[in-house]
Structure 1
Amino acid sequence: MKNQLFLFALLIIVSACKQEKEMVLEKEAIMESAKAKVETSAFPENLTKVLNAHGGIDAWKSMKSLSFTQEKESGKEVTLTNLDSREALIDSPNSTIGFDGETPWFVNKTDGDYKGYNPKFGYNLMFYFYAMPFVLADDGINYADAEPLVIDGVTYPGIQVTYNAGVGETPEDRYVMYYNPETYVMEWLGYTVSFVEGIDKKELHFRKYGDWQEVNGLKLPNSITGYGFKNDKPTDKAKAPNVFTDVKLSTTAADSKVFAKPEAGTFVE
């Protein structure tokens, strides 16, 4: 009889522990679900639709590294970026620019003066243009509707992006992303330039999107074309487009050692 009572009591205790564990797991699931909803609700509805048209923010966030190649006059320029840390490496025949997660650096591979990107801003310059519209879902961003862009009889709605103080090297930058009103696919980008001396820091410059390729289910640029600009509107094509080849998205981040400054490199403060 005592054994039966003991087993009965033990059964009650085990059952109670199981129920308590299930309640804890259920509570954690509810909290995670609520957290996800909060994160999603941080985006305006039209931006969410744009992100979805390009494959979705969840798919983008599951990726940990991105690389692409551009053909330059000096040869192939290969860009590698860890998406979470934004560690970066831009390697070309004449120079290498890197960002170790804290400080940018560069290596001049020629005997002459260095004439490449300003490393302080250049380590993520083309990455930022290339990773549109997903980089517009970064932390520390403010959103507002922008005046639509009307080109060739088509009205492209716009989403303006500004940054909180201390976000990035140039938090005073402003971007306006314009999207197709029917497909919600990104078509144009307006942006200010604040790191080049002698340029109006408030006037919008423009790049044309629309030539896309699909990589791991995400819609990324095949090419991006720079345009002239006047009165916050694009005018004519300014030059040949930037063309991106050998694009790779991976769910695995590159080893941080790849982005460390070599002995021949110089830090840029």
Structure 2
Amino acid sequence: MMNKFYLLVLALAIFSCKEAPKKEMITDTVEEVVSQVNLDKYPTELNKVFEAHGGLNAWKGYKTLSFEMPNPEFNEMQTIDLHKRFDKISTPAYTLGYNGEVWLLDNTGDYEGKPKFYHNLMFYFYAMPFVLSDEGIKYEEVDALAYDGVSYPGYKITYNSGVGASSTDEYYIHYDAKTFEMRWLGYTMTYFSGEPSTKVNWINYADWVKVDEVLLPKSITWHKVEEGEIKDAAKTVNFENAILSTEAKSKGFYSTPENAVMVE
């Protein structure tokens, strides 16, 4: 069924039956990005991580990102306005989007997902580490993460109150001490419960590909976690046909289609 892939991703993202990370940082007016990003507001070592992936100046210059997620039945195409954070997920079975409000066009009547939960879920995982440069973020250096005999330095990421859909979410980014490429993402999940969580889920980022001027993941792998310790790989999600553009899609691209329903 067309929902198998959605349910698989949902299961991966909600190991603790709460919520995977999703930040909606939308304003009515989006200013053009200045030619140079002020890097002084980010920790020095985190700037090196951004730079290892192509740099924030390159990333902030893009306006549109698209990528596909393979599925045995069909690929899921996701398109995101990187400045406004509008998004659109297109499949033969359904189309889902956000343009200030979440909408769903269900072509088959079989959609069983949670549109508000899912519409930008995989974008946030995919656009690491760059989404950790968003406004309203606080950074704190933490102890290195040890896995398979290797230590990965890192930072804890928290959000100012009221930022995004789940400002109590916490993230942990850990990177290769030699190359500064991102290697691990830890995250807690709070959306459904609304309560802070101490359970950290872990995704391994070890498979990168050059997309225009920046490195983005070719695949990411969730790992099992037992008593706080990272164990074997659980499941890998792949990404294909990524495109970055300095041009924004027309306003109509993200418009609510006829016969779509608004999601409350």
Tell me whether the two structures share a fold, i.e. TM-score over 0.5: yes
Identity of paired residues, percent?
Answer: 39
Which of the numbers 160, 164, 170 marks the counterpart of 1:168? 164
Question: Within 2, Cα distance between the matches of 1:49 and 1:213?
Answer: 18
The corresponding residue for 1:144 is 140
Report the secondary structure of 1:49's partner residue.
Answer: helix
TM-score (ref. length: structure 2): 0.82
2:101 equivalent in structure 1 = 103
Q: Which has the higher contact order (CA 8 A, sep 6+)?
A: 2
Does structure 2 conserve the Cα–Cα contact (< 8 Å) formed by 1:203 and 1:231?
A: no
Structure 1 unaligned residues grouped into runs of 5+:
1-32
Deviates more, 1:191-200 or 1:174-183: 191-200
Find the residue that maps to 1:238 and give its secondary structure. strand
Contact 2:166–2:194 at 8 Å: present in 1 too? no
- Using the TM superposition, give the Cα deviation of residue 197 of structure 1 relative to its aligned residue in structure 2, in angstroms: 5.7
1:250 aligns with 2:241: no
**Is 1:187 paired with 2:194?**
no
Work out whether residues 56 and 218 of structure 1, in 8 Å CA contact, stay in contact via their aligned partners in 2: yes
**Alignment counterpart, residue 266 of structure 1, candidates 238, 261, 264:** 261
Q: What does residue range 215-234 of structure 1 map to in structure 2 within 5 Å?
A: 215-234=211-230
Change (3 A) 1:164 1:110: same
| 1:125 Cα deviation from its structure 2 partner | 0.7
Q: Quick one: distance in 1 between partners of 2:196 and 2:117?
A: 17
Whether contact under 8 Å (2:49, 2:182) holds in the other structure is yes
SS at match of 1:50: helix
The answer on whether the counterparts of 1:121 and 1:169 sit within 8 Å (CA) in structure 2 is no
CA contact (8 A) 1:74 1:94 kept: no
Structure 1 or 2: more helix by fraction: 1
Paired residue type of 1:89: K
Structure 2 counterparts to residues 200-219 of structure 1, below 5 A: 201-219=197-215
Q: Deviations over 1:166-214 (max 9, x none)?
A: 2111111111001001111000100112234699833111111010100
Deviations 1:91-132 (A, max 9, x none): 1222211000x11111222233x223x211211111111100
Aligned partners of 1:171 and 1:200: how far apart in 2? Answer: 10
Selected match of 2:112 from 111, 115, 136:
115
Unaligned runs of 5+ in 2: 1-33
Corresponding letter in the other structure for 2:65: L
Query: Hey, what's the Cα distance between the residues in 1 that align with 2:153 and 2:183?
Result: 10
Change over 3 Å in CA distance of 1:257–1:237 after alignment to 2: same
Counterparts of 1:265 and 1:245, CA distance in 2? 27
Could you tell me how far 1:36 is from its partner in structure 2? 5.5
Q: Which amino acid in 1 is paired with 2:63?
A: K
